[in-house]
Structure formats: C-alpha cells, structure tokens
Amino acid sequence: MSLDLLPDRTGERRVVRRRLTLAVVIIAIMFMAVIGRTAYLQVAQYDYLSARSQDNRVRLAPVDPTRGIIADRQGRVLAENRSAFSLVIIPEQVADMEALLAELDQLLDLSEAEIAAFREARRRSRSFHEIPLRLELSESMVAELTVNRHRFQGVEVKPQLVRHYPFGESGSHVLGHVGRISREELARADRRRYRHTSFTGKAGVEAFHEDRLQGRLGVERIETNALGRPLRVLERDPPVPGNDIQLTIDIELQQVAEAAMGDHRGAIVALDPRSGEVLALASLPTFDPNALARGLDGASFQALNQDWRQPLFNRATQGRYPPGSVIKPLLGLAGIAGDYIDPDEIVHCHGRFNLPNVSRTWRDWRPEGHGPVDFIQAVAQSCDIYYYQLAHTMGIDAMHQWMTRFGYGLRTGIDLPSERDGVMPSRDWKRRVLGEPWYTGETINTGIGQGFMLTTPLQMATTTALIANRGVPIRPRLVSNQTLAQPPVEGLEPLTDIDESLWELTVDSMIETVHGPRGTARATGAGLGYQMAGKTGTAQVIGIGEDEEYDEETLDARFHDHALFTAFAPAENPEIVVAVMVEHGGSGSATAAPMARQVIDAWLNREESEGELVRR
C-alpha cells in the first residue's frame, strides 16, 4: 500500500489552520501567564523574597570578645586567656546523633554530665549553630579527631579562648573563676555582651569586676550554603575586648601567706593601711579555678561544693568568727576615750571575776591571773579580768556605739561579691534577731570578743588598720587601677574626736604585746629586725563551763579554739597590716602569730620591683 499524499484540499487546510489559530491564542495566553507570574514574584514580591534569599544565605555569628587579663600588683598575670581546642557539633550535619555520641564516647570517654550539658545546649540553640561538647581537647585527641575526620560528619575541632589561671589554686578566692553563663544569668544579661555559650565571672574579682572584664560581642555576617556550611565572612563587626585589671594583690606574698597557713584551715589578710590596698587575701583550703572554668561535671562539683572543709568558701570575707582578744586594744581605747577608765589605773587580776548578785564566775585564760595590770599590760598580757571589768563599767550600749564606730559589725566594702558583715551585738540586735532581752552577763562576754560578737578576718584587718593609721579608717580594695572614687564605708568616719596620744597609747600596747617581756606574742617578737605591733586572740568555739579547764589534749579537734592574731609593722610608720585566723588552731600566740610574722617579714624584706601590667 502506498500512501497517496493528495494535493491539499482547501477545506481541510482551513480546518487545521483554524485550530492552529486557536492554538496560537492559547500559547500566547500561557506564555503571558508565565511572564505574569514571574513578574509578580520579581516585582510585587521582590522585597519579601529577596529578604528570604538573604536570610537563606547570611547567618549572623557572634564573635566572643577577649576577656580582660587580671594581673597582680607587679604585673604578673593571674588570669589570662589561652587558646585551646574544643570539640563542637553541628547537629544539622549529623546523620545519627546517638551513634556519633557513642563513637565519640569511645574516643573521649565522655561523662554523663558532658552529654547532658550538650543536650541541654542543643535544645536551646538555633539551627546550624555549633554546640560545644568538650572544651579542652588534649593534643593527642585533636590529632586523633583530625585523622578520623571522615568518620565524624558534623564534628568540628575549633580553637577557642579558655580562661587560664597560671597560679592555679593560689589566690583562687580573690580571683574567683569564670564559667558558662547560666540561663538565668543570660535572661538578665545584656545580649550585646553575652550569648548562650559565653563565659561570665562566677566568683571573686572575676564576678565583681565582670563589667570591666567582659567586652562586647562582635558580629560576623557569614555566607552559608544550603547545608549551613559557612563559606566566607561578608562583614565583620569586631568584638570589643574587655579591660585588663591590675590587682593590689602581690602573688608572691599571697603564696607566702598560703604556705604559712600550711595544712590548717583559716584565713590571712594583708593590706597596706595607707591605701587600703589588699596585698594578700588567703583562704585555706583553696580550689583550682582552672577546673571550674573548664566546667566541672555535676558529681565533681557536688564533691567540691559539699566538701566539709568548704574549699569554695572565702573565709576571709565570708567567714564569721568570734574575734576574741584581738578587740582588746580598740575596746580599751574606747574605754579611755569615753572616760570609763584611766589608762594608768591599775586593776588587780586574780584570775576570777564576779558580778554582784550573780553566782556565775568569769575566769581569766590564765587561771592564776596576771596580778596588777594597767591598760598597756592588760593588752600585752591579754588580761581578761581587766576587760570584764571595763565591759561592766561601759555597758553594752556604749560598747556597741564605740565598736561600731571602729567598723565592727559592718561590711568593709571590699570589691568582692558576697562579703558578710559581722555582729557587734546590742540590746536592739538581740531583740531583733533572737527576740530576747539583753543580759548583763552577755556584756561581760562581749568584753573579750566572745558571746554574740562575730567578725570576718577582713574586718579584723581593717579595724587593725584603723589603729595603724591612728584613727583614719580605710576601705580595702583589690583593684588598683580603679577609676571609681572610693566612697567610705557608710557610717565610718575619721575618728577626729579621739586624741592622737590615745592612738599612740593603743599602738604602744600592741608593741608591748610583741616586744614586751610579758607580751603574749613575745616569742614571735624575738629577733625581729623591725618593730611590730600585734594582738593575739584565742576564741572559744564552745562554751567552757565556768569551773572547767580548757584542755586541748582531751578535746575533739573541731572544738579547739580559733587562733587569731592581728598585727602591723613597722609600728611607727606602718606599711602592712596582717590579720590571721586559724580555725581550731589553738592559741593565737603559738599558731597565728608566727604566720603573721612570716607574711610581714616577706613583705618588709621584699625586693622592690614594681612593674607595669605585663601582657603575655
């Protein structure tokens, strides 16, 4: 069969052409629809869709600022930023998170706390953000991870600045430490300065001076592809680094103080009475701030936090102890200035004190008594009977008034967080706190710094500095380049109404304590190349019955007395004030005074080499 292609029949041609014309119309309409739709997207929806395309590709990534460096008064770096490699995970790039964590666990031995923290951070973070799993990787781990890179899709090893405290446990209560910002902290924080992975000061100077140390976050506009992989930085608003801080602390002296405390628990505060600059502030035992900055897992933190020795507790500013006999110089001064006693008046001490119509007998620490003592000898020999008498004469109201003027019971205003006040008891105080009236017997106890009276070791130092300064109070401070004016502590004013000679007399009583033949600290004063003024104190932890003897041998260690000593030197022109408190250390003269001498010796014999703040 052969197909016969006949010449066109006009009618048939018309049929097809009519349909073709119809098709042309349809084609035109449909192409116009394509153009119309495109125009709608590209003109009417341009702003919206072009914004979405920007959103697609540009990610804002915060850049952490460098935290300010903390140095000691000689410019030695106490807190710095070290770059370390941390392991981060970008969850969106991980195919099987559980499998990955299991593999990483084999390699890194992840703790449950690390995994829990990771999951928490993952829940809180935005997509395509890195979530830290471990902060500091050892070099071998970095190598291992790099070699096995292909196995760990979505895992990155990133350099990051980690806070480092080169002196370790030394001065840790002063420095404090940093840690990851908590959700509560972040909620209150300025979001231009913090993000969810930021570090923030958690204690000590790191916390108190957080505003100065922390800079402002920078921002990088990063172009990413559809997988969220960063390709290049489009724009960069650099972070503003934090300010460096120079402390008044001398880390060498700090170490001397910590070494002097040995295995005891306690606190040593050394400051310059002329300026209030704190030279050393030791609280023992200490802790390693490096471990806390890297982030302890829950169990380790619990162990540290619940350690019965309380290593995290800053005894120097937060510990409250009965001051015992160290209040005697100032209480005596108050008695003399208030005309309750004459400094030359002799009190005969037989080791016992009784109140009329009270059956109780108060005993001197020296059972046989001190014989006849005037003010100077009463301080030097730490005669309790003299002070029972004085307290009885003054009464609690006058004692409270005078001692509060000296700074007892008040915060010193040091630039550290959570400083505690002490207690300078009064009728008011007792009614308010205990809901009970004041009893005369309690006045007697207060006369030797016992009973309700409590002070922090720092307060012992600042009240001693008041004597060293002959009546000029100071506010202790840790930061030397503080531009902020230092307002005096509220209610603490120069004691201009007390005659200069009375201050000298008080100083003399303390010199006699160290250098006098019957001074309680004469053993410590032996062979000194300079004149030291000091006062011992031995504070009872438990009430000893009126007829009982205090016997260290038979008493459990935790009931042993606290050993106290405050001193300054050189006595005539003081450069350093030291307060020592040793928990359950026994007697102030035997335990605390030698420690103070070590610190003062080290300071007065130091080689002067004050330098500028050194940056590594």
* Per-residue x/- track, 45-84, other proteins (CB under 8 A): xx-xxx-xxx-xx---------------------------
Sort strands 278-284 and 371-373 into parallel, antiparallel or unpaired: unpaired
CB of 233 to other proteins, least distance (A): 15
Q: Which of 2, 357, 359, 483 binds other proteins (CB under 8 A)?
A: 2
What is the enclosing helix (H) or strand (E) of 438?
A: none
Stretch that binds other proteins, among 27-35, 325-333, 407-415, 553-561 (CB under 8 A): 27-35
Q: For residue 193, give Cα distances in angstroms to 177, 180, 214, 442.
A: 18, 13, 7, 52
Q: How many of the chain's residues bind other proteins (CB under 8 A)? A: 47
Q: Which of 74, 101, 138, 231 binds other proteins (CB under 8 A)?
A: 231
> In whole angstroms, what is the distance from residue 228 CA to residue 217 CA?
22
Site residues (CB under 8 A) for other proteins, limited to 305-334: none
Handedness of CA 506, 511, 516, 522 (dihedral sign): positive
11, exposed or middle or buried, with CB in 10 Å at 0-12, 13-18, 19+?
A: exposed
Give yes or no for residue 119 binding other proteins (CB under 8 A): no
List CB contacts of 589: < 8 A, sequence separation 6 or more.
520, 521, 523, 524, 536, 538, 565
Phi first, then psi: what are they for 2, rounded to 5°? Answer: -115, 135
List CB contacts of 442: < 8 A, sequence separation 6 or more.
396, 425, 430, 451, 452
Is the CB of residue 269 less than 8 Å from the CB of residue 457?
yes
Stretch that binds other proteins, among 10-18, 148-156, 160-168, 380-388 (CB under 8 A): 10-18
Sheet with 230-237, strands from edge to edge, namely 58-63, 218-224, 230-237
Give yes or no for residue 6 binding other proteins (CB under 8 A): yes
The nearer residue to other proteins, 28 or 434, going by C-beta atoms, is: 28
300 is catalytic: no
Stretch that binds other proteins, among 43-51, 214-222, 318-326, 554-562 (CB under 8 A): 43-51
Give yes or no for residue 5 binding other proteins (CB under 8 A): yes
> In whole angstroms, what is the distance from residue 486 CA to residue 146 CA?
53
Stretch that binds other proteins, among 7-15, 79-87, 98-106, 457-465 (CB under 8 A): 7-15
Give yes or no for residue 235 binding other proteins (CB under 8 A): no
Q: Please tell me whether residue 588 adopts helix, strand or coil conformation.
A: helix
Q: Which of 25, 30, 542, 614 binds other proteins (CB under 8 A)?
A: 30
For residue 3, the tally of other CB atoms under 10 A from its CB is 5
Give yes or no for residue 39 binding other proteins (CB under 8 A): yes
Q: Which of 223, 237, 421, 575 binds other proteins (CB under 8 A)?
A: 223
Give yes or no for residue 43 binding other proteins (CB under 8 A): yes
Give yes or no for residue 42 binding other proteins (CB under 8 A): yes
Instruction: Choose the catalytic residue: 172, 198, 325, 382.
Output: 325
Q: For residue 470, give Cα distances in angstroms to 379, 432, 504, 512.
A: 17, 34, 7, 17
Give yes or no for residue 27 binding other proteins (CB under 8 A): yes
Q: Which residues in this chain contact other proteins in the complex, by CB under 8 A?
A: 2-9, 11-13, 15-20, 23-24, 27, 30-31, 33-35, 37-39, 41-43, 45-46, 48-50, 52-54, 56-57, 223-227, 231
Q: Which sequence positions are flagged as catalytic?
A: 325
